[in-house]
Amino acid sequence: MPIKNRFAELQDEITTWRRDLHENPEILFETHRTSALVAEKLKEFGCDEIVTGIGRTGVVGVIQGKTDTAGKVVGLRADMDALPIHEQTGLEYASKTDGAMHACGHDGHTAMLLGAAKYLSETRNFDGTVVVIFQPAEEGGGGGKEMCDDGMMARWNIQEVYGMHNWPGQPVGSFAIRPGAFFAATDQFDITFEGKGGHAAKPNETIDTTVMASQAVLALQTIASRNTDPVEQIVVSVTSFETSSKAFNVIPQKVQIKGTVRTLSNAIRDLAEKRINEICAGVAATMGGTADVTYHRGYPVMVNHEEQTEFAADVAKSISGDCNDAPLVMGGEDFAFMLEERPGAYILVGNGDTAAVHHPEYNFNDEAIPAGCSWWAEIVEKRMPAA
């Protein structure tokens, strides 16, 4: 059967878990209720080992197969955290926490991996060990890195690792994947321009930081249009512009701009950081001011490993009949840290015609549950077939 019958039977139960998680979102590393619920479910399923507190509030469950002659260990990862967004879905199970909602479907990811863990604990129809990984703080907190820094990969001898994300606009239950660079590196910059403040009626007596910063905002766009090979991908976005004065008749002493840089190669990432420093220093110096640039490197490029990607696509085809070529994504994904430590792959599962992720009207599509659960279970049973 393309969808495992057991997941069709479990869909209502998994949906109940998912909607409970949706109603009770938690942000970054504050996933205390979510982590406790996950650990409780894993214990109920009969997992062989359950460890909490990995990467602060992450949870790891270990499921042994019927045999372990090959000594293989496969990791399956889901993210648990929500976003600081006020929900506007009007659902009866909408967020009960003002200013927080599951606007990216991590409630669905967690519920689907719990469903797969329940099935794998029941059947154990594989030769090896499964490590189910429930990660906090994907949305900007680097929870994946924290779990790796806690020694997760070596502690459980994880040899390969697989992840999944729902994808609005893609048919429900369908899959898409690509080898190599998939999600972008995501960096941040914070730049303070300083000049000489003064009266707006006497600009000649000032060093105008508003004009200075405005010129820099425009000049930063030349990193993509004039410094980067046109066949490469880069996005430089200034997202905040603040002055040290709130008065209408004062030229401010300081102006601060902030933004992000998205790249798909380390060489372009290095180029962007170099040019941001050079451009801002040059613009400021031309006008008699200074620029203080802070550049923070965030998530690295998420790179799917070729062999594991081909395998993951074959599993997806066995479930949905096809697996499409996924687009490059300029958003970030901290599963990148796990793929830097171990070979593996990350796949998209269709969420149907829904609002986009990170939108206040987004909702995970529960009809995707059987396909997502089946993919995780098939990854295990086909990568580690029963002896």
Segment 270-280 mean pLDDT: 98
d(CA 280, CA 269): 17
Residue at which a domain ends, from 255, 272, 299: 299
Are residues 94 and 215 both part of a single domain? no
- Number of structural domains in the chain: 2
Are residues 38 and 142 both part of a single domain? yes
Are residues 312 and 247 both part of a single domain? no
Are residues 295 and 307 both part of a single domain? no
With residue 263 as reference, give the H or E element that holds it. Answer: strand 254-263
Which of 312, 325, 297, 326 lies closest to 374 in space, CA to CA? Answer: 312
- Identify the pLDDT of residue 2: 61
To the nearest whole number, what is the mean pLDDT of the chain? 97
Give the CATH number of the domain where residue 253 resides: 3.30.70.360
Each residue of 318-357: pLDDT tens digit? Answer: 999 999 999 999 999 999 999 999 999 999 999 999 999 9
Give the CATH number of the domain where residue 129 resides: 3.40.630.10
d(CA 115, CA 134): 13
Tokens 């909702």 correspond to 363
- Identify the pLDDT of residue 265: 96
Each residue of 44-91: pLDDT tens digit? Answer: 999 999 999 999 999 999 999 999 998 999 999 999 999 999 999 999
Positions annotated as catalytic residues are: 81, 138
Are residues 76 and 130 both part of a single domain? yes
Tokens 């002896």 correspond to 387
Are residues 89 and 154 both part of a single domain? yes
Calculate ∠ Cα 274-275-278, nearest 5°: 90
Q: Distances in Å between the alpha carbon of 387 and those of 124, 273, 314, 383?
A: 11, 51, 21, 12
DSSP per position, 178-229: -SEEEE-EEEEEEEEEE-B-EETT-GGGSB-HHHHHHHHHHHHTHIIIIIS-
Are residues 319 and 259 both part of a single domain? no
- Cβ-Cβ contacts under 8 Å for 45 (sequence gap 6 or more): 117, 118, 121, 122
Reading phi first (left if > 0) and then psi (alpha if -120 to 50, else beta), residue 180 is in left
Are residues 293 and 327 both part of a single domain? no
Domain that holds residue 225: 185-299
- Identify the pLDDT of residue 1: 44
- Identify the pLDDT of residue 17: 98
Are residues 59 and 143 both part of a single domain? yes
Q: How much of the chain exceeds pLDDT 70, in percent?
A: 99
Retrieve residue 230's tokens: 């046109």
CA dihedral 135, 31, 137, 38 (to 10 degrees): 10
**C-beta neighbour count of 216 within 10 angstroms:** 24
Each residue of 11-43: pLDDT tens digit? Answer: 999 999 999 999 999 999 999 999 999 999 999
Residue at which a domain ends, from 242, 274, 299: 299
**C-beta neighbour count of 36 within 10 angstroms:** 13
Are residues 90 and 202 both part of a single domain? no
Residue at which a domain ends, from 299, 333, 357: 299
Are residues 149 and 272 both part of a single domain? no
Q: How much of the chain exceeds pLDDT 90, in percent?
A: 97
pLDDT band at 3 (very low <50, low <70, confident <90, very high): low
Are residues 23 and 143 both part of a single domain? yes
- Cβ-Cβ contacts under 8 Å for 249 (sequence gap 6 or more): 199, 200, 201
